[in-house]
Chains A and B, each alone.
Chain A
């Protein structure tokens, strides 16, 4: 019908949520996913030697969540009014929930991290080790007696409370990012519960990839003593196994999602076309599918490669790149479908915003690596010999 139509005049509206918001959504899902994966594997292993990785999976996501709202602020045209969201609460707006959920995530992650590091920090203060000044400040003077294990046993109740609360708010944060996109009425690409499941699967795979990447970097930068290192390497290899299944789940969810789109009228077909042959095809086929899904899946299928640090690093990084493009494809792709005319909406270049996002990511990586040198991730050697 439209083949004989010429468009004479219309208005183009462009893309309002660009790469910065995609980074924001990706970082939330990665941080929360990393923490959830660590939380559950930690409960599964119940091993003291897993604690350093639990610290990686709690403290580093906390850093991400702490810096990530800056992306949202830079994307706003009036960031100076951001605080008004806290008291002009609109209960039908998904963002209004995020305004509370993300700070509560930050708070619970901070307290959970504090209790994870607390015994080792106390030991370092008592033995006047390097960094004891910082630790004394963080501990606020309350130094207890006993070994790290004894202190940990005494604080178990509080540690568990905050750990469990991180679990609650992590799931809420994941629901928030999913609903933030899926609630947009009339945006056929994202307006379904499939978006929420996509974010759950992305969080699982990207979070596991993050743990493998940052866990391997930790063992390289601040290696634990011999037997603990062997155990941590085994845990990290096991993360490879989790990543394999998370990627399979992600593949399955995307497959079902694309099939669903095919049965959602002409708008759904067009949404699927955006991924498969339209404006986001390169990002979908190359970055999301080949780099983000097939490559890490191929690497993590073999036990020898899961144990190989380089192969796991590549798999972790590739998974995260793929997850980022998956989020970007969903977020940006959903806005490319025109609502009032028959030409793709165009995304105006945002060099400042994109550069800002990359700078924040670089700062985060630097902070992660510095924290490995500053904070007591491992059990102190002296305490180990005590045990």
Chain B
């Protein structure tokens, strides 16, 4: 660029600016495309199926998760929703254990401005790097399942990562281990002989907000529609 201000040639400046932007953009796209392509074809695809018929609502999973991952009071990586549906004498209790879906197309990962949220390419699990997270809360808002929170102890985004420190050592996630009704089945969905793949082949699978096309990897069996898909009109019919 020529001398700043006085003798600047606009065309030359814009040409330089355009070339630099194009070079940077191309480089960034190549790098990003590479990482996406790598992430999109994991060797393993860890996921979970929760058979709500087997869930007894003991909240053992929530406690095991808190204990295993040192989750502070007031926030949860794993929790159980419970409703009582119907009117006496036709009353039914419905349960829905919840955790991060570790989506294949995770909005939280897409919206993280620092790359603190990332996916391990070998198994597709979505993680948060506490050293990189700036605590901007964007991912918390981006998650359409409200599965994220800002950890009050670390000040960084937090969520379930299927107890990655356990599963990489061949153990099951703490919630799966603690489940008294054996409602949670965890495993590699890419392996056709794994328990989870066989279970998914045997039963009709449900998911939360599947229309968003985030491809959640936590699936449900026999979950009641009333607890799975909320009827929001209920809120507008009564005082807040």
Cα distance, A9 to B97, chains bound together (Å): 11
A-binding residues in B (CB < 8 A) = 5-6, 8, 10, 13, 28-29, 32, 59, 76, 79-87, 93, 98, 107, 110-116, 132-138, 140-142, 144-146, 149-150, 155-156, 209, 212, 214, 226, 230-237, 240
Cα distance, A10 to B76, chains bound together (Å): 10
Q: In the bound complex, do residue B114 and residue A184 qualify as a contact, i.e. CB atoms below 8 Å apart?
A: no
Q: In the bound complex, do residue A269 and residue B8 qualify as a contact, i.e. CB atoms below 8 Å apart?
A: no
Cα distance, A44 to B14, chains bound together (Å): 25
**Which residues from A are CB-within-8-Å of B110?**
90, 92-93
Q: For the complex formed, measure the closest distance between the CB of B108 and the CB atoms of chain A, giving whole angstroms.
A: 10
**Which residues from A are CB-within-8-Å of B107?**
184-186
Q: In the bound complex, do residue A269 and residue B115 qualify as a contact, i.e. CB atoms below 8 Å apart?
A: no
Q: In the bound complex, do residue B138 and residue A76 qualify as a contact, i.e. CB atoms below 8 Å apart?
A: no
Q: In the bound complex, do residue B81 and residue A84 qualify as a contact, i.e. CB atoms below 8 Å apart?
A: no
**Which residues from B are CB-within-8-Å of A344?**
235, 240
Total A-B residue contacts, Cβ distance less than 8 Å: 178
Q: For the complex formed, measure the closest distance between the CB of B210 and the CB atoms of chain A, giving whole angstroms.
A: 11
Cα distance, A9 to B79, chains bound together (Å): 9
Q: In the bound complex, do residue B113 and residue A85 qualify as a contact, i.e. CB atoms below 8 Å apart?
A: yes
Q: In the bound complex, do residue A84 and residue B132 qualify as a contact, i.e. CB atoms below 8 Å apart?
A: yes
Q: In the bound complex, do residue A75 and residue B137 qualify as a contact, i.e. CB atoms below 8 Å apart?
A: yes
Q: In the bound complex, do residue B233 and residue A266 qualify as a contact, i.e. CB atoms below 8 Å apart?
A: yes
Q: In the bound complex, do residue B141 and residue A17 qualify as a contact, i.e. CB atoms below 8 Å apart?
A: yes
Q: In the bound complex, do residue B114 and residue A85 qualify as a contact, i.e. CB atoms below 8 Å apart?
A: yes
Q: B84, B98, B156, B209: which contacts A78 (Cβ < 8 A)?
A: B156
Stretch of A59-67, A199-207, A213-221, A271-279 on the interface side: A271-279
Interface size class of A (residues with CB under 8 A): 35 or more
B-binding residues in A (CB < 8 A) = 1-11, 13, 16-17, 72, 75-79, 81-82, 84-85, 88-96, 99, 155, 157-158, 161, 183-187, 266-267, 269-270, 273, 277-279, 335, 337-344
What are 7 inter-chain pairs, A to B, with CB distance below 8 A? A4-B87, A77-B156, A88-B115, A157-B8, A269-B236, A340-B81, A341-B81
- 4 tightest CB-CB pairs across the interface, nearest first? A77-B135, A186-B144, A77-B155, A95-B113
Cα distance, A88 to B79, chains bound together (Å): 32
Q: In the bound complex, do residue B231 and residue A2 qualify as a contact, i.e. CB atoms below 8 Å apart?
A: yes
Cα distance, A341 to B146, chains bound together (Å): 10
**Nearest neighbor of A164 in chain B, beta-carbon distance:** B10
Cα distance, A7 to B79, chains bound together (Å): 14
Q: In the bound complex, do residue B82 and residue A9 qualify as a contact, i.e. CB atoms below 8 Å apart?
A: yes
Q: In the bound complex, do residue A187 and residue B144 qualify as a contact, i.e. CB atoms below 8 Å apart?
A: yes
Q: In the bound complex, do residue B226 and residue A90 qualify as a contact, i.e. CB atoms below 8 Å apart?
A: no
Q: In the bound complex, do residue A269 and residue B233 qualify as a contact, i.e. CB atoms below 8 Å apart?
A: yes
Q: In the bound complex, do residue B111 and residue A93 qualify as a contact, i.e. CB atoms below 8 Å apart?
A: yes
Q: B80, B138, B149: which contacts A13 (Cβ < 8 A)?
A: B149
Q: In the bound complex, do residue A81 and residue B132 qualify as a contact, i.e. CB atoms below 8 Å apart?
A: yes
Q: In the bound complex, do residue B8 and residue A161 qualify as a contact, i.e. CB atoms below 8 Å apart?
A: yes
Q: In the bound complex, do residue A266 and residue B232 qualify as a contact, i.e. CB atoms below 8 Å apart?
A: yes
Beyond the given A82-B134, A90-B112, could you list 4 further A-B residue pairs with CB under 8 A, ordered by the A residue number?
Answer: A8-B82, A9-B59, A76-B135, A93-B112
